Amino acid sequence: MKYQAEIEEQKFDIQLVDEENLSVDGEAISFSIKRGSKPEHFSLILNGRSFQVWIENGEMRQGEGSSMLRVHLSGFDYEVKVDDERSMRIREFAGADTGSKDIGQIRAPMPGLVVKLLVETGQEVKKGEGLLIVEAMKMENEIKSPVNGAVTEIRVAEKQTVEKGEILIVVG
């Protein structure tokens, strides 16, 4: 499984190789992790070095698929954003990583069913605000706006099936 972690605007590509090995930006690391006396406490061993870690769950950003965590490690606190491979692909297909500041064409990340529209034409939205919910593979995904702007077009209706890559909503 592949992940991307962002800590203080620095991104790390992480791949779990097996139950005892992982790769961080291509560097092989052996690891072991054991739960401590409390659910949020862990003992982490990386390449033979032991660390006590305390992890607070933050918000899970539905549709975006990101988890925000507060990690306490060696006397320091870190805000960590973690994306799994699936959520990175969803954002890519939804247009969240295009960098466009003028227009946002929100596309279906995969074939699915529009469960609910959360906005109306003309409505002002902010980057990260939910626009609609699409059900795919028995999971509901909230698709969020990649840009600030007004909803200029809604090209789908509730209970409509959509194909991967189909434009759902335009924000400009």
Domain identity same for 103 and 50: no
Q: What is the reported pLDDT for 91?
A: 62
Domain identity same for 8 and 40: yes
| 162 inside domain | yes
Q: Which pair of structure tokens corresponds to residue 94?
A: 């939804």
Could you say which of 66, 85, 104 is where a domain stops? 85
Domain identity same for 106 and 158: yes
Domain identity same for 102 and 54: no
Q: List the chain pLDDT tens, one digit each, 172 residues.
A: 888 888 877 889 999 999 999 999 999 999 999 988 888 888 999 999 998 998 887 544 444 456 788 888 877 888 888 888 777 776 665 554 444 443 678 888 788 999 999 999 999 999 889 999 999 878 888 888 888 899 999 999 999 999 988 899 999 8
Could you say which of 61, 85, 109 is where a domain stops? 85
Compute how many other C-beta atoms are within 10 angstroms of the C-beta atom of residue 106.
Answer: 27
Q: What is the reported pLDDT for 85?
A: 78
| 145 inside domain | yes
Domain interval for residue 100: 95-171
Beta bridge partners of 82: 5, 67
Cα–Cα dist 70/142, whole Å: 23
Q: What is the reported pLDDT for 124?
A: 95
| 90 inside domain | no
Cβ-proximal residues to 9 (8 Å cutoff; 6+ apart), any chain:
none
Q: Which pair of structure tokens corresponds to residue 143?
A: 């698709």
Q: Which pair of structure tokens corresponds to residue 166?
A: 């189909």
Number of H helices, E strands in the chain: 1, 16
Domain identity same for 72 and 106: no
Domain identity same for 101 and 167: yes
- Coil, strand or helix: which one is 13? strand
**Which of 90, 118, 117, 113 is closest to 162 using CA atoms?**
113
Q: How many domains does the chain have?
A: 2
Cα–Cα dist 83/86, whole Å: 8
Q: Which pair of structure tokens corresponds to residue 31?
A: 């690891």
Q: What is the reported pLDDT for 140?
A: 87
Q: What is the reported pLDDT for 62?
A: 41
Could you say which of 31, 56, 85 is where a domain stops? 85
Domain identity same for 6 and 81: yes
CATH of the domain at 112: 2.40.50.100
- Coil, strand or helix: which one is 89? helix
How many Cα atoms sit within 13 Å of 77 on the Cβ side?
5
Domain identity same for 44 and 109: no
Q: What is the reported pLDDT for 97?
A: 45
